Structure 1
Amino acid sequence: MSESPQTDTYLTLKAKSEGLYKEKGSKFLAFAFPVKDETEIKEILDQLRKKYYDARHHCYAYILGKNQNIYRANDDGEPNHSAGDPILGQIRSHHLTNVLIVVIRYFGGIKLGVGGLIHAYKTAAADAIANNEIITAVLHERVKLDFDYLSMNEVMKLIKDYDLQITDQHFDNQCQLVVEIRQKLLEEISHKISDLNGVKMHILGYE
C-alpha cells in the first residue's frame, strides 16, 4: 500500500490463483478470483460446478464493495460454519474486497470433524491468497459525456489533461464518450465540465 492511502482505494487480488490442502485422503482445491459483482460470481461458480462436477462440496465466500458491505459464506452441505466462514475469514483477515474464493472438496473416506474442516478450508483459502498478489485498486466512476461536435477539442483537452480512460465512444454531429474518472477527482472534473458549453455529464456507476 502507499504511504498515504486515498479514500477511493481498496485492496483486492490481482488475478486468478489456486491453492491446495490435503488431509486424510480428502483434497481441498481452492480458487481465488478478483470479481466485480454477483453476476460474475454466479458465472464462475457455474463454471467450476461443471468442471468439477464429481466433487462432493463446492464451498465459497465472497466480499464486494469498497466498504466490504456485501458478503456471503456458503457451506454447501458441510456442517454449519465449518467451510464458508473460514474462507470468509481469510478474505477479511487480508482486508480484501471484490474477491471470491471457492474451495472444492473431494472426500477421502475419513471424516475430519468440524475442527478439522475449519482448519482445512481456512488453510486452502490462505494458500490461494498466498499464491496471488494483493494490489491496491482505485475506485472509478463511469461517466457519459454528451456534446456537439464543435465542443470536441475542449472535451478532448480535458480528457488529456486528466489522463482519463475512454471506454466507449460515438462521434457524429452529436457525440458521446464514456470515460472512467477516479472517484476523488469526480467533483473537480464535474466543475470543469459544467464550464464547457453544451456538454452534459451523466454518471453511470462505479467500476
Structure 2
Amino acid sequence: MLPCYHTVQGYGEHELIIQRSRFIAHIQRVETEEKAQEFIQEIKKRHKDATHNCSAYLIGENNHIQKANDDGEPSGTAGVPILEVLKKKELKDTAVVVTRYFGGIKLGAGGLIRAYGKATSEGISSTGVVERKLMKIIQTSIDYTFLGKVENELRSSSYQIKDIHYVDNVQIETYIDMGSTQLFIDWITDLTNGQGKIKEIGEVYLETLLSKNNEG
C-alpha cells in the first residue's frame, strides 16, 4: 500500500464552450478497470446523442492500468491529452470522460488537444483533489482518572482522535503517521506514567482535500 497518493474527491463534472462546441468533463474516482469501464459506458449512455465521448483512466499504485480512447476524434487528439493531464497532476485511480457536442467549427489537431486537455484540467479542479495518507490506528486503554488529562493533551496536539470508547476503562483510538508510532507511544507512556496500555489495531487511509475550484 502506498504511504501517500493523490486522487479526485469523487464524482464531478464541468462544462465549457470552445468555438461553439460544448465540452463536458465527467470525473470519477475508480479503483478497478471494471469500474472505469462501467463509468465510461454510463456517460456514453447518458450522452448517446453527443458527437464524441472521449475517455482515459489511470489506475493502480504504479499506474499499471492506463487507457485512452479518442472515440472518433483524430488519433491522439483526445484520449491521450486527457491521460496526460492525469499524469501531470500525478493522480491515481481516476477516470475521465469528456463529452463533445460539435458546434460546427473544426478545431484542428492542435485545437482539439488543447480543448480536451483544458476540459480535463478544469473538470478535475471543479471536482477537487484529495491526498490519501496511510495512517496507523493506535488504541490507548487508560483508567478513567487519566481521561481528562490525556484527552486534553491529545486535542491540543497534532494527533487526531478517531474514537473514544467508554467501557470498563477508556479506549482512545488515534490516527498516527506511519513513521511516528514510537514517538507517540513514548509520549503516551510518559503522559500516563506508564499506566496506559497501547496497541496497534489497524491501518486506514485518511483523506485531506487539497484543492477545489467551485466556479462553473
SS at match of 2:90: coil
- RMSD after superposition: 2.6
1:138 CA drift (Å):
4.3
Pick the aligned partner of 2:81 from 86, 107, 119: 86
Unmatched segments (≥5 aa) in structure 2: 141-160, 163-177, 180-216
SS at match of 2:54: strand
Q: Which residue of 1 aligns with 2:114?
A: 119
Q: Which residue of 1 aligns with 2:31?
A: 36
How does the TM-score come out when normalised to structure 1?
0.63
Q: Which residue of 1 aligns with 2:123?
A: 128
Q: Which residue of 2 aligns with 1:11?
A: 6
Q: What is the alpha-carbon distance in structure 2 between the residues aligned to residue 48 and residue 132 of structure 1?
A: 16
Unmatched segments (≥5 aa) in structure 1: 1-5, 141-157, 165-183, 186-207
Q: Which residue of 2 aligns with 1:67?
A: 62
Give the conservation status (yes or no) of the 8 Å contact 2:33–2:65.
no
Q: Which residue of 1 aligns with 2:19?
A: 24
Q: 1:139 to 1:79 in 2, by over 3 A?
A: farther
Tell me the alpha carbon deviations over residues 135-171 of structure 1, each in whole angstroms, 9 at most, x when there is no partner: 122469xxxxxxxxxxxxxxxxx9967x99xxxxxxx
1:132 CA drift (Å):
2.1
Q: What is the alpha-carbon distance in structure 2 between the residues aligned to residue 123 and residue 26 of structure 1?
A: 13
Q: What is the alpha-carbon distance in structure 1 between the residues aligned to residue 79 and residue 41 of structure 2?
A: 17
Tell me the alpha carbon deviations over residues 56-111 of structure 1, each in whole angstroms, 9 at most, x when there is no partner: 11101110011112111110110111001111111111100100011000011121
Q: Within 5 Å, give how 1:96-107 maps onto structure 2.
A: 96-107=91-102
- Number of equivalent positions: 144
1:21 CA drift (Å):
2.4
Instruction: Name the amino acid aligned to 1:46.
Output: Q
Instruction: Name the amino acid aligned to 1:42.
Output: Q
